[in-house]
């Protein structure tokens, strides 16, 4: 392998055997190529899941059944959830991890390059399984993305396809996590202690441990469902001595840490971007690390706040209520530290900074509605209404997705060597922020008025807010198409060459104080040059 190839890509063993065309991607062991594959896969899944969401919103534009039967409508809501959670948001963050963690810790590649390739290539078959489940008898599963028993034990073969797809995606997540943990713990450059790592590495290290802890729990829940369906067991079948509520306990023991798996890497990205554009160090680095770890640990003791209406004892309700409120403390520490980082900073508002500040604003709204839902008597009223839908979309769309956009705008000059069009980026931000709020803010009112989720029809008094939400949803969807055609593709194809440090003295401002380097906080060690 020539020196120039090594310099160019830090390529691992076999990447140079397949330098051209399709085989370059099929056999990629280079962390950058695999990161790119993850990002493209997740963007395709984002658009697919978005189409399902727009079908849902189209049906809900007016009361009455317009386009879809309730059974198919429920298949849409289920598949929208599964595709977005396991196909869009999680792989996107793994793509970021693959691209940035070796660069940030000074490693030549991820620890296990071929396992990295395998963990990606498990995802497309899983996506195909989910997509084709619409075509089998009975269609895709309509049990909701949570796949609650006893519904999930009664569905057609689409349910089995969903279970198999989730097993594949879970295996992929576990392998990716092992890779990330070993890379961070064993391959840091000399002198980079754990407490000197960039925040993105910290949040991913903690996330990877969460994934390894909870993915097998999900695998257990869906395997028990599978044996209930086909092998005569009665784990969740009350008639055979089983307990359907036990499914919820097992699922949410996975499901609640999963929510933090989808937001912690976002915290890491935002914690990298704010200091760069405020031209200050991150306020309270150590407290950010401890807050992230506390959130991860506490996420294991709050699962039953999803189950206040299942008839649990008042003692349990109180415990889960207080434990859930406790999570607001480390989260509040993070928000305080972000604001303190910006305080009196020399801020400029390029697109990454806009998305990062937008993230703090909308994520905080989502956090507050979560705190409201933690209060048991309130939750019993609002359970399974559109208030809950509004809450988790504020956290996952305006939280995870906005952070992913911020990270793309921040790091794409490094990835592509080209600068995106700033005017187009800002347009994408304002379109996304405004249409997102038009879509999901009215849902708080729908929920408070009592509109249940996962229904294809509704009473006439909910019409106005549903119409507003549907118009907003199409605007939000079109904003992401705009992002593809006016930001991503032009940036990849070319455009202005990116500077070596694209964010130093942004907007042509010169700083006497040296700004923190956005990508590397240290010199690359000589053996990796």
> In 83-122, which ranges are continuous DSSP H helix?
90-105, 113-121
The helix (H) or strand (E) run that includes residue 367 is helix 351-374
Measured distance CA(73)–CA(14) in Å, rounded: 46
**DSSP per position, 438-495:** HHHHHHHHHHHTTPBSS-S---GGGHHHHHHHHHHHHHHHHHHHHHIIIIIHHHHH--
Q: Is 249 a catalytic residue?
A: no
Task: Judge whether 233 counts as a catalytic residue.
Answer: no
Catalytically annotated residue among 10, 32, 167, 305:
305
Residue of 16, 18, 453, 454 with catalytic role: 453
Report the SS3 class of residue 57: helix
Which residue among the candidates 33, 258, 350, 379 is catalytic per the annotation?
258
Question: Is 315 tagged catalytic?
Answer: no
Q: Does 8 qualify as catalytic in the annotation?
A: no
Candidates 77, 78, 152, 173; catalytic one: 173
Distance CA 305, CA 320 (A): 6
Identified catalytic residue from 121, 202, 252, 260: 260
Q: Which of 12, 32, 80, 167 is catalytic?
A: 80
Q: Is 4 labeled as catalytic in the residue annotation? A: no
3-class SS of residue 498: coil
**Which candidate, 363, 382, 405, places its Cα nearest to that of 451?**
382
| CA atoms within 13 Å, Cβ hemisphere of 57 | 25
Active-site hit among 183, 331, 470, 491:
331
- Give the separation between CA 311 and CA 123, rounded to whole angstroms: 38
Residue 418's SS3 state is strand
Q: Smallest Cα–Cα separation from 83: which of 57, 51, 55, 61?
A: 51
- 305 included as an active-site residue: yes
Angle at CA of residue 520, ends 519 and 526, nearest 5°: 140
Taking residue 27's Cβ as centre, other Cβ atoms within 10 Å add up to 16
Active-site pick, 42, 77, 271, 369: 271
How far is the CA of 228 from the CAs of 20, 82, 245, in angstroms?
A: 48, 21, 14
Beta-carbon contacts of 229 under 8 Å, excluding residues fewer than 6 positions away, are 152, 153, 159, 160
Which listed residue (109, 228, 350, 379) is catalytic? 109
Catalytic, 271? Answer: yes
| Catalytic residue, candidates 172, 183, 369, 491 | 172
- The one catalytic residue in 10, 167, 256, 444 is 256
Residue 414 designated active-site = no
Cβ–Cβ < 8 Å for 346, 278:
yes
Q: List the catalytic residue out of 38, 99, 121, 145.
A: 145
What single-letter DSSP state applies at residue 301? G
| Active-site residue, 145 included | yes
- Please tell me whether the peptide bond between 150 and the residue prior to it is cis, using omega within 30 degrees of 0: yes
Is 260 a known active-site residue?
yes
Active site residue 173: yes
Catalytic residue among 188, 334, 391, 428: 334
3-class secondary structure, 497: strand
- Token readout for 34 is 């695999």
- Identify the residue whose tokens are 């576990």: 174
Helix 123-132, helix 113-121: angle, nearest 10:
10
14 assigned to active site: no
Give the catalytic positions in this structure.
Answer: 80, 109, 145, 172-173, 256, 258, 260, 271, 305-306, 331, 334, 453
């Amino acid at each position: 392998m020539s020196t120039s190839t090594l310099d160019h890509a830090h390529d691992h063993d076999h990447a140079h055997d397949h330098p051209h065309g399709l085989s370059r991607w099929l056999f990629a062991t280079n962390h950058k190529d695999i990161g790119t594959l993850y990002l493209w896969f997740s963007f395709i899944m984002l658009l697919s899941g978005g189409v399902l969401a727009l079908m849902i919103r189209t049906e809900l534009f007016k009361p009455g059944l317009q386009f879809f039967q309730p059974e198919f409508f429920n298949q849409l809501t289920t598949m929208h959830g599964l595709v977005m959670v396991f196909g869009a948001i999680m792989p996107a963050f793994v793509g970021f991890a693959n691209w940035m963690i070796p660069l940030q810790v000074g490693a030549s590649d991820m620890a296990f390059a071929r396992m990295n390739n395998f963990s990606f290539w498990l995802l497309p078959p899983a996506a195909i399984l989910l997509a084709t489940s619409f075509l089998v008898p009975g269609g895709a599963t309509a049990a909701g993305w949570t796949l609650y028993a006893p519904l999930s034990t009664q569905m057609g073969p689409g349910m089995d396809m969903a279970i198999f797809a989730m097993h594949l995606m879970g295996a992929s997540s576990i392998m990716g996590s092992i890779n990330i943990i070993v890379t961070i713990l064993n391959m840091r450059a000399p002198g980079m202690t754990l407490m000197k790592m960039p925040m993105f590495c910290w949040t991913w290290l903690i996330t990877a441990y969460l994934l390894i802890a909870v993915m097998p729990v999900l695998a257990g829940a869906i395997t028990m469902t599978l044996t209930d369906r086909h092998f005569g067991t009665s784990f969740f079948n009350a008639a055979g001595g089983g307990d359907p509520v036990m499914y919820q306990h097992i699922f949410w023991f996975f499901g609640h840490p999963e929510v933090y798996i989808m937001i912690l890497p976002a915290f890491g990205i935002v914690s990298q971007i704010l200091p760069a554009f405020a031209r200050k160090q991150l306020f309270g680095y150590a407290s950010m690390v401890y807050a992230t770890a506390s959130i991860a640990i506490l996420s294991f003791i709050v699962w039953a706040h999803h189950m206040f209406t299942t008839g649990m004892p008042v003692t349990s309700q109180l415990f889960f209520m207080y434990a859930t409120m406790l999570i607001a403390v480390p989260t509040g520490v993070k928000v305080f530290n972000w604001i303190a980082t910006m305080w009196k900073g020399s801020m400029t508002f390029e697109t990454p900074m806009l998305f990062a500040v937008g993230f703090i604003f909308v994520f905080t709204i989502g956090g507050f509605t979560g705190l409201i839902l933690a209060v048991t008597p309130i939750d019993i009223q609002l359970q399974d209404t559109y208030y809950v839908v509004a809450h988790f979309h504020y956290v996952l769309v305006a939280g995870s997705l906005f952070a992913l956009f911020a990270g793309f705008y921040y790091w794409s000059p490094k990835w592509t060597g080209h600068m995106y069009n700033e005017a187009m980026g800002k347009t994408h931000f304002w379109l996304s922020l405004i249409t997102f709020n038009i879509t999901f803010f009215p849902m708080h009112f729908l929920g408070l008025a009592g509109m249940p989720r996962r229904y294809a029809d509704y009473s006439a008094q909910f019409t106005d807010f549903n119409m507003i939400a549907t118009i907003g949803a199409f605007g939000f969807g079109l904003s992401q198409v705009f992002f593809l055609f006016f930001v991503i593709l032009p940036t990849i194809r070319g455009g202005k060459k990116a500077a070596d440090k694209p964010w130093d003295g942004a907007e042509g401002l010169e700083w006497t104080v040296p700004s923190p380097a956005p990508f590397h906080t240290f010199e690359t060690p000589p053996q990796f040059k």
